[in-house]
Amino acid sequence: MTGRKNLPLVSPGGDSSLYSGESLFEKISQLKNSIASGNLLEAFKDIPQCNNVETQSIGALGNNSSRNRYSDILPYDSTRVVLQNEMNDYINASHIRLALTNQNLEDAIQDNQSTIDNKSWFIAAQNPLEDTTANFWTMAWQQRVKTIVVMSNPSESENKTQVLFWPNETGECVKYGEHKVQTTCSHQLKSFHVFKLQLHSFLIGSSRNLTLLFYSDWKFDSAIASRDSVDLEPTSSSTHEFIRFCNYVLINNQDTSPFLVTCEDAIGRTGVFIALVQVVKSIEKGKEFQLERIVRQMREWRPNMLHEQVCPALGHIMSLWLSVHSSFCNHSKIEQGNNTD
């Protein structure tokens, strides 16, 4: 398969037989059949969009309405990111802690070891509005974020004007409330940009380095920003590029700090990225994964995660990712066999 050398892949751990040989081919076949028959989409539709036990009262308060891009996309009160030492502690962002084994929301919230071994920690945040950009960088500082993943282009929005919330040029420095951000270097790959940033806190008087990765080549649909229903089957090349981007992010972030993932609504493209990362981590641990269970887990942490329009895109991306992985594994076996001759 073309592009194999440009797509670094994870090595299965634990029971590696789950992702090799006939077992792997069976998984690919099952996923493709589920997509073609519409069963995967139906399974996603059967998953509740939100946890009705959880409340969303804080985001619905009148003084917080201007901090939301959409009035119907609000974080749960129990899992929202709380800004510390602020008169208004609200930001439209949610903690998402996903276990590789079955675990309910209450247990996961109480488990402070959520970044160790069997769990992943993300923050899903809407792209900041002009009046919330300072809050965004306050959150990044307080949560000790080292990697920011931006999944939507600021020029795409038709509902509310997006703002470029980081310095775009090397050497440029911008003040955002109690913090300033400087781009120390940047480079562009085929489908995404990498920005090395220095985040400085005026209150603390110290700085931290972090990386912002901006995926600028989303081609799975033309209407995610307006949340219209469209055909989301991606082209092979666009899917390869997205997989390449996700692998780049994982390889370059081995820290236990949370991934801060943003898009316009923090449920669509953000959900696709988080779900794919969770699948990759499952493969790393040699554990079974179910896309439906991952989506169900995500919606326990943030309502409407991976909304219906982007679920098919996730299925297609996962199908091709497994196919690439299969090609890579077969190629490696051939090379190993040749080396023993």
SS3 141: helix
Radius of gyration of the chain (CA): 20
Q: What is the DSSP letter of 5?
A: G
pLDDT category of residue 117 using cuts at 50, 70 and 90: very low
Answer with the residue of higher pLDDT: 237 or 279. 279
Report the pLDDT value the prediction gives residue 309, as an integer from 0 to 100: 66
Residue pair 276/306 in contact (Cβ under 8 Å)? The answer is: no
Q: Which residue has the higher pLDDT, 121 or 10?
A: 121
Q: How far apart, in whole angstroms, are the C-alpha atoms of residue 202 and residue 212?
A: 21
pLDDT at 111 over 80: no
How far apart are the two ends of the chain, measured CA to CA in Å?
25
Q: What is the mean pLDDT of the chain?
A: 78
Beginning with the edge strand found earlier in the chain, give each strand of the sheet holding 80-82 in spatial order: 80-82, 90-99, 119-126, 259-263, 147-150, 206-215, 192-201, 179-188, 173-176
Distance CA(70)–CA(159), nearest Å, equals 9
Fold category of 48-321 in CATH: Protein-Tyrosine Phosphatase; Chain A (3.90.190)
Q: Where are the beta strands (DSSP E) in the chain?
A: 80-82, 90-99, 119-126, 147-150, 173-176, 179-188, 192-201, 206-215, 259-263
Q: Percent of the chain at pLDDT above 70? A: 70
Query: Among the listed ranges 59-68, 254-263, 281-290, which one has the minimum average pLDDT value?
Result: 281-290
User: Does the global pTM surpass 0.85?
Assistant: no
Distance CA 250, CA 57 (A): 34
Average pLDDT over residues 157-179: 85
Q: Is pLDDT above 80 for 128?
A: yes
Higher pLDDT pick, 223 / 111: 111
Average pLDDT over residues 240-246: 81
Q: What's residue 113's pLDDT?
A: 40
Tokens found for residue 267 = 């449920």
In this predicted structure, what is the pLDDT of residue 148? Answer: 96
**Segments making up each domain of the chain, as ranges:** 48-321
Long-range pairs for 190-193 at CB < 8 Å and ≥24 separation? 190/217, 190/241, 190/244, 191/215, 191/216, 191/217, 191/241, 191/242, 191/244, 191/245, 192/216, 192/217, 192/245, 192/248
Give the other-Cβ count within 10 Å of 99's Cβ: 16
Instruction: State the average pLDDT over residues 150-179.
Output: 82
pLDDT over 90 at 122, yes or no: yes
299 pLDDT tier (thresholds 50, 70, 90): very high
